[in-house]
A and B are shown apart, each in its own frame.
Chain A
């Protein structure tokens, strides 16, 4: 029988496999292959094959680290199809650190693809469309808050990032035009810029001051859903927080980390840690589950750097989701009745990483006039997954359409989420069902603001 040979006996040709082994082999070997994570995994449920399951992916990383399969040819695709929702971590009885394994794989795959791309470019062949699209979006758009603050919507992003040219050139126009057309429909209306809070400003608490908090604006939130950010700040003030918006803050780096661009993620993290340290706040508040999860794991980026590790740890200990603070310092001074049935879709990263799932529900249940109904599978990923829904449109829509059936069962008139990606995805889901005139998709903050009479 063949079992995995001891680590020192492996002699590998591929330096990338070697690196993968260093980064993930011990973690992958913690998996006892019990399969307890299978029912929790949305991609396993929708694709129905082991390679689309956490147990399968971990095993493939192990196989690649042992040099039994090829990183690019065999490992890249199954890893690429993972949503990174981390529901498997919560289900695992032996605490296998899936995110660590996954991100190590992403990083090594990205490096190897980059090398292959450079080589291919030399021989003048166009490379893998999806990886190009991804790199273009990530490298050119997300780290630049200035650029992002200017843009209005994803279409802009699609054009400015040179994606459209790339798409035509690689003849992938059909692959991308349908998703883009559908996304266009659901993009939020922009607010008049004059209404925005200025970065660097301090907004006083209403009434007695209970805490000083620093607000993390988040690049997508800030660019496209600015109104939600403004309402977040107002809600914080209402429960007695003095809010500062640190000027030097940056993109959280989550998309980079999930796509295997770890070094870029590290640089962004350092900038944020610095900016928030200077704010002198008691808590660092965010309102996007995906960013929050990244922020609350900054320490993991610096495990080999003592000094930054300590600073990151401190940052992490102060990081909070908006719902935690509103529950802590609440109740909110509600002013208006909210009508209809509300249902809630967990943000995976808020639920599975930050472990926040009660607070949003408590808040929604406290809204006067509204009826809260839990939908089946509310804890399961909606398959927006960062930019998963752009890169893997069909796979994503299969999961989304299934979710919309559960929404329908609740007869909800409002679907609430706590993450911009999920929010867009919900809007898309409602649009695809043709029920956009009956169902509103809102960020939790929007619902609370409405009930508090904030416009």
Chain B
């Protein structure tokens, strides 16, 4: 069979050595699964042939981008073949007239940001991993970041795809027009499908004009619930900020500990608000945001006057992730999301969970769109504590779903959240998804072991 593969892909892009295979056994989440072979295909025709062969011999196929997934998306849980698509990165065209980017899936997200900006355009989805992650990975996880509040997630910007189906056919979905109502919207079905319905080999992205200016403020609160109220007040006042980020006291302390940035250690919450658009309009808006914060009992509001001050504010936010990692060797990063109006309530529930399970649970995130990041800092070698972590994680998901929210706002389901799918979707909802998967992938060869829970599985197991 290896010989057959050699007929399709040249030798130097086929990896069989143990060291090479172990190098594709992980992602940024949990677990280690050794694939049998790793291949770096260079075009859709090679991929189609490989997938056809995989169907014939029933070999699991695992597409992989930069493996920054936090949910286990690219892990080869059943062995088989990993397709490393990070090197499929040659095409990168910016079509200025039609405001489009046409790119290979392995292109790094930040490269798209850069090339769009060079011609005065803007590709908004901004996961914090964007200088590492691939566009393909972003698409399949439907990633987003702070800008999601105003500009939406990756799916709002994908208008056309070239896809190798799980049976090895090459199809095109959508096209180069923003409007397109011809038949089912397969583009949207593929986006966010976590590599279970097709391998994306080319992407057409929609770009928008770059906002002319932006203004940023940092508000401190003595009470988490007040900060939640300020956020809701601003959003219902007719202002749509470009970003609204929240950090709780534990995060503030962690950041100050890691790299002193002059944050107020006694504040219970910090909120960063950024408005963007026409210079005169945002001048007005940022003033209004400032007033509303004070009305909701903010203890201090600082509006950045220079680009350096703005960078300073964002630096504190960017520091959160590395800072909290210093608090313990294992970080369980969740991204349960609730409707905006439920943010204060969700914060309260998280506080209860932290106390009930006696865990180091910190909260930060994209408060404006209800996408919170509760993070539990622990040590995976502490079996007893990991058991409590598992219970707490289950309870976080239950809280989010019961408040009308969702398991995952950004990071996807993968292996880690599969056990909770039924909780959110119900039996019938999940079954419908399964039927779609079976119709596309009758042999279940593409990314098997993901999204759908194993029979009887209702809880995540994080222990070895």
Chain A residues in the interface with B (C-beta under 8 A): 1-7, 29-30, 32-36, 38-39, 48-51, 53, 56, 59-60, 63, 68-70, 73-75, 77-78, 93-95
Contact = CB atoms under 8 A, between A and B. Distances in A.
B322 A33 contact: no
Interface in B412-464: 415, 461, 463-464
Given A74-B22, A94-B322, 18 more contacts: A2-B32, A3-B31, A3-B380, A3-B464, A5-B464, A34-B28, A35-B28, A35-B132, A39-B132, A56-B23, A59-B26, A60-B22, A63-B22, A68-B22, A69-B19, A75-B19, A77-B19, A93-B322
A309 to B, nearest CB: 24
Contacts of B381: 6-7
Interface string B244-269: 00000000000000000000000000
A6 B330 CA distance: 14
Interface residues of B, number: 41
A34 B24 contact: no
Given A35-B67, A59-B22, A3 B32 contact: yes
Contact of B31 (A1, A68, A69): A1
B135 interface: no
B165 interface: no
A77 B66 CA distance: 22
A63 B25 CA distance: 11
16 contacts: A1-B461, A5-B464, A29-B329, A32-B28, A33-B26, A33-B27, A34-B129, A35-B67, A38-B66, A48-B86, A49-B23, A50-B84, A59-B22, A75-B19, A77-B19, A93-B321
B325 A94 contact: yes
A39 B22 contact: no
A68 B19 CA distance: 10
A74 B331 CA distance: 30
Contacts of A2: 31-33, 464
Contacts of B15: 49
Contacts of B98: none
Contacts of B464: 1-6
A1 B77 contact: yes
A89 to B, nearest CB: 13
B19 A32 contact: no
B177 interface: no
7 smallest beta-carbon distances between A and B, as pairs: A93-B322, A50-B23, A74-B19, A3-B464, A51-B23, A56-B23, A1-B31
A35 B66 contact: yes
Contacts of A59: 22-23, 25-26
Task: With a 10 A CB-CB cut-off, give which of A1, A63, A78 has the most chain B CB atoms.
Answer: A1
B20 A49 contact: yes
B30 interface: yes
Contacts of A36: 129, 131-132
Contact of B108 (A4, A39, A56): A39
A93 B18 contact: no
B23 A60 contact: yes
Contacts of A95: 322
A51 B15 CA distance: 11
Interface string B378-389: 001100000000
Interface string B1-41: 00000000000000101111011111110111100000010
Task: With a 10 A CB-CB cut-off, give which of A6, A34, A73, A94 has the most chain B CB atoms.
Answer: A34
Contacts of B77: 1
Interface residues of chain B: helix, strand, loop or mixed (majority): loop
A3 B301 CA distance: 46
Contacts of B24: 50
A49 B19 CA distance: 11
Contact of B87 (A3, A48, A60, A78): A48
A84 B342 CA distance: 50
A3 to B, nearest CB: 4
B19 A51 contact: yes
Nearest to B110: A39
A150 B381 CA distance: 56
A69 B22 contact: yes
B68 interface: yes
A3 B34 CA distance: 12
A30 B329 contact: yes
Contacts of A77: 19
A4 B32 CA distance: 8
Nearest to B26: A33
Contacts of A74: 17-19, 22
Contact of B20 (A51, A70, A93): A51
Interface in B179-230: none
Interface string B77-110: 1000000101100000000000000000000100
A38 B40 CA distance: 17
B326 interface: yes
A1 B87 contact: no
A93 B331 CA distance: 14
A38 B22 contact: no
A32 B325 contact: yes
Task: With a 10 A CB-CB cut-off, give which of B19, B25, B28, B464 has the most chain A CB atoms.
Answer: B19
Contacts of A29: 329
A74 B415 CA distance: 29
Contacts of A51: 19-20, 23
Contacts of A32: 28, 325, 331
Contacts of B131: 36, 39
Interface string B161-187: 000000000000000000000000000
A65 to B, nearest CB: 12
Contact of B68 (A4, A34, A78): A34
Interface string B313-352: 0000000011001100101000000000000000000000
Contacts of A30: 329
A29 to B, nearest CB: 7
Contacts of A73: 18
B68 A35 contact: yes
A69 B322 contact: no
